[in-house]
Amino acid sequence: MTTANAPFNKQQQLKSIISFLKEQGFQIANSVAGGYEDPKKFVFKGSELGFTPDVIAETNGCQYIFSLEEYADELSDKQVQNKWRLFDAYAKQKKGLHYLVVPEGNVKKFKKLIADWDLDSRILALEW
């Protein structure tokens, strides 16, 4: 992808992720990256609280959610937990998985959060 010393550029990272997913046989359904229809905001039933995934990709009739997470501290812990729980639930309904796309150096922290919050999210670690 990119080197560890390069500054973080979300659009560039999303394009790299999309290229990687296509190489793995995924079809990109929606993405906040240019050139794709934007994903719809996922909202909790009976609430206005919702989040928009970065990429929705499909393979073998299943949908997978990919959310680019540079730092777990960007939102309050409760907001992060709600976001990941919502993406997990949606992916399960579509017979897929939710992947957190994180920098290699932060994998431990994200794994701990997933375990602490008893989530089914998976991690895709990238160099950036």
pLDDT above 70: percentage of residues in the chain: 89
Question: Is 63:95 a contact under the CB 8 Å cutoff?
Answer: yes
Distance CA 45, CA 52 (A): 15
Domain count, the chain: 1
Only one residue has tokens 């560890």, namely 4
* 96-120: average pLDDT: 92
Residue 1 lies in a domain: no
Q: 93 pLDDT band (50/70/90 cuts)?
A: very high
Q: 85 lies in which domain range? A: 10-39+50-126
**How many Cβ atoms sit within 10 Å of the Cβ of residue 40?**
11
Residue 28 lies in a domain: yes
Residue 61 lies in a domain: yes
pTM: 0.86
Residue 93 lies in a domain: yes
Q: Domain holding 100: CATH number?
A: 3.40.1350.10
Question: Is 54:32 a contact under the CB 8 Å cutoff?
Answer: yes
- pLDDT of residue 115 exceeding 80, the answer is yes
Residue 4 lies in a domain: no
- Give me 64's structure tokens: 């997978």
Residue 57 lies in a domain: yes
